[in-house]
Structure 1
Amino acid sequence: MEKSALQMARAAYQPKLPKALQGAVKVKEGAATQSVGDQEEIKKLFPNTYGMPIVEFEPATEANNTKMNVGIILSGGQAPGGHNVITGLFDQIKKLNPENRLFGFILGPGGLVDHNYMELTADIIDEYRNTGGFDMIGSGRTKLEKVDQFEKGLEIIRELNIKAIVIIGGDDSNTNACVLAEYYAAKNYGVQVIGCPKTIDGDLKNDQIETSFGFDTACKTYSELIGNIERDCNSARKYWHFIKVMGRSASHIALECALQTQPNICLVSEEIEQKGMSLDDIVTYIANAVCQRAADGNNFGTVIIPEGVIEFIPAIKKLIAQLNDVLAMPEAKELDRHESIDFVKAHLTDENLAVFNSLPTGVARQLALDRDPHGNVQVSLIETEKLLSTMVAQKLEKMKKEGKYSGKFSAQHHFFGYEGRCAAPSNFDADYCYALGTSAAQLIANGKTGYMAIVKNTTAPAEQWIAGGVPITMMMNMEKRAGEMKPVIRKALVELDGAPFKTFAAQRDRWARETAYVYPGPIQYWGPTEVCDQPTRTLALEQGK
């Protein structure tokens, strides 16, 4: 593989580990746990992996030299640092016993089912230390949820004498990891399953998981780009830039980028839902800010938009909920695209039909027809940034006729998604992921299954981080998916009474009127710790730093 000078220098970087993971390890067990919701149902579905204790690693005098082969799976969208989870896992199992072997399943969970794998040797691992992306073994979105998949996977697990499978993924993937762990435990197959918290969206977090990996790097990457646009915006002084960033279910990325760059406007989906705002309310809010800046002679600005915002507008959310039910009906699955629209319209309530008909045709079709493998609306395909800027332009024209606006409005559009998913990990993500991989190895060595590797106290220097594991069932509740109730890990949304949002809300009126831009610049890997090793603003504010 060809390498840049930066990659070669990064390959030599040795991630920092928490003190407890630097040598031999022993496990300290806490109290029994229960799920965050629907305790009885979750307990019934996961009798073998429910109620287990949180575990924490502590330094020990004697190393555990367990003989174990491990399989690893990357699941779902890419996130910076994934390769370091694998290298941390590899280094630790080899340290425990040089005979231990690591097998990577190719292109996600499907690789386990299809017996598509490769052994990950030191030569391969060394190529990928501290690199972005998931290209070492690739990723996929196959859902592990059927008995025949579990049994087919077991065949290759037995053939390779694998003791445990580590699944690196988001909330859906870790839910699947828990289902797999429960199945193998119920059958007494002796196969352990461990999860790792990954998603750039930042919505896989709770009391035990302080942040999902990749969030730090992705936000710093997007913030660099937004800062660059703001600089151009402030130089040319003639465009309003509408910038959509990733974050389907939660606005953590948009909020973090706003805290780093201080744009004129940042929409937060969770607030829009709480306030019951309509699409017109949002457009009016932006148009008023444009109007106010124009009065000061500033016909330019920046607007940050979370990609999932449209799903949080209450009227549209209600429509999507009914669309999900209608599209889950058996007869809907047999229809072609044209028939589907007619079928959908015929089954909507009058209220939802009125909302459906009020949307631009393209957006309505995308809500009804374009679904991902989980049955979700593919909001990243809906060009919300263009939809909003078009509607703002129309609103301003109306205001001009009424004599309320006399400025100029010209829009530019951007969507930052893939640019952040495979960036070279920041020092924070490189260290955090390496510690997660090391923790996963120790959870396996200590006989755990149905656990997620965790690292806490992450606003302190890495040496003071606390590593361990949490039962995945602890994070679960029951939610409606594709028309039926399923156990899933509860998504963490932006908390409107939390420190990150409150810090933003206290300053946004000033940012809307003034040009208060901050230009963060690119991620730094070498230099003073206050530049190179800082966590996100979100994490620091949440922990009162």
Structure 2
Amino acid sequence: MTKSALQIARAAYAPKMPESLKGSVKIVEGRKTESIADQADIAKLFPNTYGMPLLTFEAGGAAKSFPAVNVGVILSGGQAPGGHNVISGLFDGLKRLNPNSKLYGFLGGPGGLVDNKYMELTSDIIDEYRNTGGFDIIGSGRTKLEETAQFDQGLENCKKLDIKAIVIIGGDDSNTNACVLAEYYAQKNAGVQVIGCPKTIDGDLKNEMIETSFGFDTACKVYSELIGNIQRDCNSSKKYWHFIKLMGRSASHIALECALQTQPCVTIISEEVEKKGMTLDGLVAEVAATIIARAKEGKFFGTVLIPEGVVEFIPAIKKLIAELNDLLAHHEAEVNALANNDEKRALVAKLLSADSAATFASLPVAFANQLMLDRDPHGNVQVSLIETEKLLIDMVKAYIKKNEPALGAKFQGQPHFFGYEGRCAAPSNFDADYCYSLGYTASVLIGEGKTGYMASVRNLTAPTAQWIAGGVPVTMMMNMEKRHGHMKPVIQKALVDLNGAPFKKLVECRNEWATQPSFVYPGPIQYFGPTEVCDQPTKTLALEQKK
């Protein structure tokens, strides 16, 4: 296999770790935990894994001997930079516990556990993937582990390989499934531990114990480089407005972080749209106001950042989508049997409530059609398939032509969607270190016999040696939400905090960025050089933890 010069150099990078993981580890139990909401319901559903204490690792524990253990690892859901380093850290940690331990990778995501598709991950294989992007070492998938038959089949396959622990590397839904699996195996006294690791570039798997999900740092730096490149072009040609949609279905963390890094003219934050109770027309008018103001100063160019899930935060459309999700869950076959979109829209309109039917009828036809697309495995609309950036360009253009005819002809919009570009990038030094530490932390949790925990590494704006490793019970993050028309326990997504320092920084600066020459050009990720260039965390983390 041909390797680039960067691949060869990165293979030699030795990830930095917290001091507490470098020798014998002492486990310190903290307070007993409870779920973030719906405590009685969650406690009833998870009697064996609810209420467990927080765990913190400290250096200098008494030396212990650990038996060899076979462990399975699963990559679940969409890719995120650093997944290979989680596996590398897990492998090295298991070998540190006992050199005879083995690590098996289930292929193609959670489905590999059920279908018994696996490979043993040896040092020769692991060494080829250290500090690389992607999930190609074993592949990923979106199979949901939620059926008893799946749990039983997975357990049977684990017994064949004498696997005593499973590590599931995934986002909120994947770790919810991990928690359900841990509870089921604990209930059956099956002898199989389940540990989770927090992955998602969206950044919405976070709380007091999970300061950030891995991959967020790298993805935002990749997107910010691209935005910066576009802004440099924008500032050169001076004739286009670039509408840039960024990943972030349920939260606007990516859009906010990229805004803080690049200082665009307009940044839409979904959570703010919802708080203001904005309509789609109101959002269009707000974006257009900045474009008109710049045009009157002779500036017919700029950038607009758009979270991919913003339509779900416009109250009337959010209500419509919620009804559509339920409606399509119960009438999917009936709707899909119709010959064309006109017939589908007509049927859907009849089944909706009066308010939602009116909202549905008011939407541009192409947009309404996109809202009827097949749902994802969790029953939600696939907002990444909705071309919000093109919709806003068309609506802003129509608004300007109607309200400022003299300026309308000079408005030219260019749509972009940055998604896959950031998911498999070579991890930044931050993510390489963070992910390796998460994997190593998972190995310690396994050695200590824990289950139903997520690996946690905190204090992330400090030097790596001062990071704090430990474990957090997954049930602590849960609440009850409606999925496929039924209430289910799920990890609560962390939305942008409108009272938090990162958003307040955007509010403080947005007027200046809208009118003054404020573009920032971050450039590509730097892997070698001064610490302040190579190892800095996201601006979100820096602002959140600023003393």
Does TM, normalized by the shorter one, top 0.5? yes
Conserved? CA contact 1:109–1:142, under 8 Å: yes
Distance 2:545 2:430 in 1: 16
Q: Please give the secondary structure, in 2, of the residue aligned with 1:143.
A: coil
| CA distances 1:389-430 after superposition (whole Å, capped 9, x unpaired) | 1111111111234x6x47711111110000000000000000
Partner of 2:56: 56
Give the TM-score normalised by structure 2.
Answer: 0.98
Partner of 2:164: 163
Conserved? CA contact 1:332–1:343, under 8 Å: no
| 1:515 Cα deviation after fit | 2.1
1:508 to 510, 518, 521: 510
Partner of 2:494: 492
Distance 1:369 1:295 in 2: 40
Partner of 1:242: 243
| 1:110 Cα deviation after fit | 0.2
Q: Please give the secondary structure, in 1, of the residue aligned with 2:372.
A: helix
Distance 2:364 2:137 in 1: 42
Partner of 2:39: 39
| 1:78 Cα deviation after fit | 0.2
Partner of 1:356: 360
Conserved? CA contact 1:72–1:104, under 8 Å: yes
Partner of 2:219: 218
| 1:63 Cα deviation after fit | 3.5
Partner of 2:543: 541
| 1:3 Cα deviation after fit | 1.3
Give the TM-score normalised by structure 1.
Answer: 0.98
Q: Please give the secondary structure, in 1, of the residue aligned with 2:242.
A: strand
The answer as to 2:28 corresponding to 1:28 is: yes
RMSD over aligned CA atoms reads: 1.2
Distance 2:142 2:351 in 1: 30
Write out aligned runs for 1:335-374 (5 A).
Answer: 335-338=336-339, 340-374=344-378
Partner of 1:291: 292
The answer as to 2:450 corresponding to 1:474 is: no
Conserved? CA contact 1:326–1:332, under 8 Å: no
Write out aligned runs for 1:267-278 (5 A).
Answer: 267-278=268-279
| CA distances 1:215-274 after superposition (whole Å, capped 9, x unpaired) | 000000000000000000001101000100000000000000000000000000000000
| 1:65 Cα deviation after fit | 2.4
Partner of 2:192: 191
Conserved? CA contact 2:401–2:408, under 8 Å: no
Write out aligned runs for 1:373-392 (5 A).
Answer: 373-392=377-396
Partner of 2:11: 11
| CA distances 1:357-399 after superposition (whole Å, capped 9, x unpaired) | 1112222122123311211111111110010011111111112
| Paired AA for residue 450 in structure 1 | G
Q: Pick closer, same or farther for the CA change 1:95–1:418 going to 2, 3 Å.
A: same
Partner of 2:147: 146
Distance 2:67 2:20 in 1: 18
Structure 2 unmatched ranges of 5 or more? none
Distance 2:426 2:417 in 1: 20
| 1:337 Cα deviation after fit | 4.7
| CA distances 1:51-90 after superposition (whole Å, capped 9, x unpaired) | 0000011122304423111000000000000000000000
The answer as to 2:398 corresponding to 1:397 is: no
Partner of 1:455: 457
| 1:333 Cα deviation after fit | 5.7
Conserved? CA contact 2:374–2:381, under 8 Å: yes
| Paired AA for residue 115 in structure 2 | D
Conserved? CA contact 2:329–2:484, under 8 Å: yes
| 1:334 Cα deviation after fit | 7.3
Most deviating of 268-277 and 506-515 = 506-515
Q: Pick closer, same or farther for the CA change 1:55–1:337 going to 2, 3 Å.
A: farther
| 1:330 Cα deviation after fit | 5.5
Q: Percent identity?
A: 69
| Paired AA for residue 150 in structure 1 | F
1:519 to 521, 538, 541: 521
Conserved? CA contact 2:273–2:314, under 8 Å: yes
| Paired AA for residue 159 in structure 2 | R
Paired residues, what number?
543
| Paired AA for residue 374 in structure 1 | H
Q: Please give the secondary structure, in 2, of the residue aligned with 1:534.
A: coil
Partner of 1:175: 176
| 1:522 Cα deviation after fit | 0.5
